[in-house]
Amino acid sequence: MRDETVHLPLGPVGPATERPISIAILAMGGQGGGVLTDWIVRLAETEGWVAQSTSVPGVAQRTGATLYYIECMPPQDGLNPILSLMPTPGDVDVVMAAEYMEAGRSILRGLVTPDKTTLIASDHRAFATVEKIAPGEAIADSSVVAQAIGVVAKREIVFDMNALAANHGSMISAAMFGALAASGALPFPVDKFRALLNGESKGRNSSLAAFDAALECATAPAPTPLDLSESEAFSQPALPSDLLDRIEREIPESARDMARRGAAKAADFQDSAYAQDYLDLLARLRAADEAAGGAARDYAFTAAATKYLANAMAYDDVIRVADLKTRASRRTRVEREIGLKGNQVLQTTEYFHPRAEELIGMAPKAWADWLNARPRLVAWIDTRVNKGRRIKTYSAFGFATLHAIAGLKRRRRGSHRHAIEVTHRDAWIDRAIQTVDRNYDLGVEVLNCRRLIKGYSDTHARGLTKYDRVMAAIAKLESREDAADWARRLREAAIRDASGAMLDGAIKTIESFA
């Protein structure tokens, strides 16, 4: 066959030019990764450079961020460069991650190298779906990323850009643009960055404010904590001085901070008198710890008690849920998270699915006992209330309904639900005290088992069932030297597996040798 291919003389047009500057941006949906990419391309083109951007969509919060890639360089002798469409591992100048774990993923992909890459990352977390839905502790360890960054990046600029941007009413893209300007990775004056933002028609002032704040934070010798608005700072109800003095006197130093938080949680749940009750119970547990030789173990029993006793006392009931949903701090947080503007109106819809148990639980104990003695009446009530409901939080009717339910807080101590919780709590405390006297480590694990009980309605019922099964299994192996290890395995199996199959397997194993 005759070869009819036309061969053109395509020799080199000149000497090899310098390489382009490459920038990889990893951002999730809603973080403005496309806007940031557009700003960088426009800035380069304004300065007479040739710039090209591409993107590879991810599945956002589920499996990873969208990867935006930019290459830019000045033309050489009137000839435009040929730019790449994808980053090459080991050959990226700047990596920008709009979330901390995305910085870790960029490292795993080989985009960050110690001889070349400037890493710009926000160290806040936006939890992935797999982290949220797991019954147990499935949150990825951020410290691993922090350790890796210090090894694999030539230079790093890392701080909470998300909080900084939110504090100035802007998106994280503006803060990252400021960090990029501070890095010097692009050979353009900072004023050029600012001028580009100044030409924006939407959100100009807030973007400039976030840009300047990030620029200052990135160039500071040691980034200082952000001056967040009051609504963003962690806050607890102020405890009376007598409670604080009591904590200082009675609680070991290693458990004091958690005791203060626990007392504050109890006071927020009910009142200062309830916080006194918390410290009374904690004093009893502390005495048992001391008698069991807790001083030699840094009072691990007391430390566990400070946390889980507070959780047991501040249980989730309908009153608590209604109270939290009508707080001004909750509305402020939602406004900040969605970026509410001054001319916009916020409305939220609450989803409820109450059962007869929740309604009866709010009733005085005597009334509830009378109702529970009449199962047919309870079943009739359940057919009327056991269905899904949607309540608009900030409508007149919706807010009034939730506020009225939250107002039952004053009568909570006389309610049927409170009586049940107190009985269960006291049985748990007695069990822990009896156990720690015989087996210190197992006593700590009994306290930790309270972690299984959380939420309200069906969630609470499922957790309570798992707790009862775990405690029953622990009773069968208390005489074993490795009882604490088995208790820990039981608890973790119950937490991690929603179906209960892992817990079933662990219990069968115990029954085989108990």
Q: How do residues 6-24 score in pLDDT, each as one tens digit?
A: 555 545 444 444 789 999 9
- Rounded to an integer, the average pLDDT of 318-332 is 90
Q: Compute φ and ψ for 126, nearest 5 degrees.
A: -120, 105
Give residue 61's pLDDT band: very low, low, confident or very high (50, 70, 90): very low
CB neighbours of residue 255 within 10 Å: 24
Contacts 24+ apart (CB under 8 A), 107-114: 107/145, 107/148, 107/149, 107/152, 111/24, 111/87, 112/149, 112/152, 112/153, 113/152, 113/154, 114/151, 114/152, 114/153, 114/154
Give residue 3's pLDDT band: very low, low, confident or very high (50, 70, 90): low
Q: How do residues 67-96 score in pLDDT, each as one tens digit?
A: 999 999 988 877 788 888 889 898 999 999
Q: What Å distances lie between residue 105 and 33, 63, 89, 112, 144, CA to CA?
A: 16, 11, 12, 10, 11
Q: Compute φ and ψ for 61, nearest 5 degrees.
A: -65, -15
Question: What is the reported pLDDT for 335?
Answer: 82
What CA–CA distance (Å, rounded) separates 339 from 168?
10
What average pLDDT does the structure give for the chain?
Answer: 85
294 DSSP assignment? G
- Rounded to an integer, the average pLDDT of 454-468 is 84
Q: Based on the number of CB atoms within 10 Å of its own CB, is 207 exposed (0-12), middle (13-18) or buried (19 or more)?
A: buried
Q: Based on the number of CB atoms within 10 Å of its own CB, is 258 exposed (0-12), middle (13-18) or buried (19 or more)?
A: middle
| 325: enclosing H helix or E strand | helix 318-325
HEC per residue, 213-242: HHHHHHHCCCCCCCCCCCCCCCCCCCCCHH
What CA–CA distance (Å, rounded) separates 133 from 497?
11
CB neighbours of residue 300 within 10 Å: 18
What CA–CA distance (Å, rounded) separates 251 from 272?
18
CA angle 368, 374, 380 (to 5 degrees): 95
pTM: 0.65
What CA–CA distance (Å, rounded) separates 258 from 254?
9
Give residue 341's pLDDT band: very low, low, confident or very high (50, 70, 90): confident
Question: What is the reported pLDDT for 141?
Answer: 67
Please report, as a single letter, which amino acid is at residue 72. Answer: C
Q: Which of 168, 13, 24, 158 is nearest to 99 (CA)?
A: 158
CB neighbours of residue 414 within 10 Å: 12
In order of their start, the domains of the chain are 21-219 (3.40.920.10), 241-315+418-513 (no CATH), 318-413 (no CATH)
- Rounded to an integer, the average pLDDT of 233-250 is 77
Question: What is the reported pLDDT for 351?
Answer: 85
Residue 281: strand, helix, or coil: helix
Question: What is the reported pLDDT for 237?
Answer: 60
Residue 353 pLDDT > 90, yes or no? no
Question: What is the reported pLDDT for 140?
Answer: 67
Residue 119 pLDDT > 80, yes or no? yes
Q: How crowded is the C-beta side of 111, counted as CA atoms within 13 Å?
A: 25
Question: What is the reported pLDDT for 195?
Answer: 93
What CA–CA distance (Å, rounded) separates 65 from 57?
7
Question: What is the reported pLDDT for 11?
Answer: 53
Q: How do residues 467-476 score in pLDDT, each as one tens digit?
A: 999 999 999 8
- Rounded to an integer, the average pLDDT of 46-72 is 81
Question: What is the reported pLDDT for 231?
Answer: 35
**Are the beta carbons of 112 and 95 closer than 8 angstroms?**
yes
- Bridge partners of 26, per DSSP, are 67, 97
- Bridge partners of 68, per DSSP, are 25, 55
CA angle 360, 366, 372 (to 5 degrees): 50
Residue 198 pLDDT > 60, yes or no? yes
Give residue 480's pLDDT band: very low, low, confident or very high (50, 70, 90): confident
Question: What is the reported pLDDT for 133?
Answer: 59
- For 122, the token pair is 């926000």
User: What percent of the chain is predicted at pLDDT more than 90?
Assistant: 50
**Are the beta carbons of 144 and 129 closer than 8 angstroms?**
no
**Are the beta carbons of 289 and 301 closer than 8 angstroms?**
yes
Q: Compute φ and ψ for 25, nearest 5 degrees.
A: -120, 125
Question: What is the reported pLDDT for 462?
Answer: 85
Give residue 158's pLDDT band: very low, low, confident or very high (50, 70, 90): very high
